[in-house]
């Protein structure tokens, strides 16, 4: 548990330093104040710390937070460079209805994408191209929806299109493997209870179910206040 927390702190500190967000304490407060989650490649690194260096940072937040997020980034020297990007141009998934707009900011060579959503941004994570990127970091910790696969560097594909295939190739070059169904070696119950076993396609999953890994963040914030606590929580997958 301590190791998982240490790796999460390392990942968040690396994000804060690389993308000009001052410190892990400032980053966590920024996320807390604006209901932001980090997903994409940087969230994957919470479970494969230091494996590669992402070129950009993907932040997801409710559209109601756009003014305070923009002001925070501009105060720290980030410039909005490309203007708004429509969801369909960057997110070729079956369901992008939760995404309203994508803004891009740059500081030196580092890029930050702000993905504004309708309601809770976590709903967008469940529609990503594969289980490999169904992870997120919030101010209170990191969550992996398919930890057994993710830690084994394997993933189930959720869609197939030109954009998704580019992503698959990118992650394959980093040592990850994509499959169309859960391999028997990872699913210990090939004869399972339909709609109950976590790997069954008919099972309705929840971020609170027993097959999700949650690593809580112990990093104290400014003033010594601790937002979050605990350690690694997991079970059945």
**183 within some domain:** no
- Give the 3-state secondary structure of residue 116: strand
DSSP states along 115-167: EEESS-THHHHTTSSBGGG-EEEETTEEEESSHHHHHTTEEEB---SHHHHHH
How confident is the model at residue 163, as a pLDDT? 85
Q: Please report, rounded to a whole number, the percentage of residues in the chain having pLDDT higher than 70.
A: 76
**166 within some domain:** no
How confident is the model at residue 186, as a pLDDT? 47
* Segment 55-114, tens digit of pLDDT: 899 999 999 999 999 999 999 999 998 655 555 444 444 455 789 989 999 998 899 999
Q: What's the mean pLDDT when you consider all of the chain?
A: 82
Reading across the β-sheet that carries 135-138, which strands appear in turn? 79-80, 99-107, 110-117, 56-62, 37-39, 135-138, 141-144, 213-216, 232-233
**77 within some domain:** yes
CATH of the domain at 32: 3.30.460
* Segment 16-70, tens digit of pLDDT: 999 999 999 999 999 999 999 999 999 999 999 989 999 899 999 999 999 999 9
**167 within some domain:** no
- Read off the pTM: 0.82
Range of the domain at 37: 2-147+206-233
Cβ atoms 116, 66 nearer than 8 A: yes
Compute the distance between CA of residue 134 and CA of residue 232 in angstroms, rounded to an integer.
17
Residue 5, exposed/middle/buried by CB under 10 A (0-12, 13-18, 19+)? buried
**80 within some domain:** yes
Mean pLDDT, residues 163-176 taken together: 92
Q: Kindly report the number of other CB atoms within 10 A of residue 233's CB atom.
A: 15
Helices (H) and strands (E) in the chain, counts: 8, 11
DSSP state of 236: -
**179 within some domain:** no
Mean pLDDT, residues 163-168 taken together: 89
Task: Work out how many domains the chain is built from and give that number.
Answer: 1
Least confident span in 124-138, 159-173, 181-195? 181-195
Q: Kindly report the number of other CB atoms within 10 A of residue 176's CB atom.
A: 20
**36 within some domain:** yes
- Give the 3-state secondary structure of residue 224: helix
DSSP state of 135: E
Mean pLDDT, residues 156-167 taken together: 86
pLDDT at residue 227 tops 50: no
Cβ atoms 203, 196 nearer than 8 A: yes
The structure tokens 């990191």 sit at 142
- Structure-token pair, residue 217: 């963040």
Confidence of residue 162 (pLDDT cuts 50, 70, 90): confident
Compute the distance between CA of residue 111 and CA of residue 104 in angstroms, rounded to an integer.
7
pLDDT at residue 158 tops 60: yes
Length of the chain: 237
Cβ atoms 98, 80 nearer than 8 A: no
**174 within some domain:** no
């Amino acid at each position: 548990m301590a190791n998982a927390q240490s790796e999460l702190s390392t990942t968040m500190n690396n994000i804060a330093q690389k993308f000009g967000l001052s410190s892990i304490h400032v980053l966590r407060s920024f996320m807390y104040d604006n209901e932001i989650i980090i997903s994409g490649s940087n969230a994957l690194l919470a479970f494969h710390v230091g494996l590669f260096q992402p070129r950009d940072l993907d932040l997801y937040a409710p559209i109601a937070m756009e003014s305070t997020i923009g002001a925070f980034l501009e105060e720290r020297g980030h410039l909005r460079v490309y203007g708004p990007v429509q969801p369909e141009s960057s997110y070729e998934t079956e369901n992008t209805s939760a995404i309203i707009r994508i803004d891009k900011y740059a500081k030196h060579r580092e890029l930050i994408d702000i993905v504004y959503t309708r309601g809770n941004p976590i709903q967008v994570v469940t529609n990503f191209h594969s289980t490999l990127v169904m992870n997120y970091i919030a101010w209170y910790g990191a969550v992996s929806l398919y930890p057994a696969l993710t830690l084994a560097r394997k993933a189930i594909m959720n869609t197939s299109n030109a954009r998704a295939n580019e992503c698959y190739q990118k992650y394959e070059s980093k040592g990850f493997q994509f499959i169309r169904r859960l391999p028997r070696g990872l699913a210990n119950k090939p004869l399972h209870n339909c709609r109950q076993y976590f790997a069954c396609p008919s099972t309705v999953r929840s971020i609170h179910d027993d097959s999700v890994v949650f690593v809580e963040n112990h990093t104290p914030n400014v003033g010594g206040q601790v937002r979050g606590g605990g350690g690694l929580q997991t079970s059945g997958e």
